[in-house]
Copies of this chain bind each other. A is one copy, B any other.
């Protein structure tokens, strides 16, 4: 501890170091990815079958072009999907999941299983809590 630092300064420094630690943590980085709504949806869709851009955007009804493109770029960059351009007119772009991406789907399935097994328990707890603490 540097005695010339104020308490606020040393707190800020601790926070910075902690943020750096978190940014470097593998499971945190993965969770940040999975937390992205569209990442899991696109990956799951491509887990079923290869798709073109337009097919994906139809399949995942709620997504905007901006988000779909951004998501696909991230997935491609991370080696989780491949992007294949066929230079016809008009161009055709096909997306497919990779082995790495497919292995990640097993993690997603783990999450899914816990959710399907326990989320109504959570739901019940939540209702009980709200009941006890006043709904309004």
Contact = CB atoms under 8 A, between A and B. Distances in A.
A68 interface: no
Interface string A108-130: 10111011101101101110111
Given A14-B61, A62-B18, A122 B107 contact: no
Q: How many copies does the complex hold?
A: 2
8 closest A-B pairs (Cβ-Cβ)? A35-B35, A79-B125, A18-B62, A18-B61, A26-B115, A30-B115, A27-B112, A26-B119
Interface residues of A, number: 48
9 contacts: A31-B115, A77-B125, A78-B122, A78-B125, A78-B129, A103-B118, A107-B111, A110-B110, A110-B111
A94 interface: no
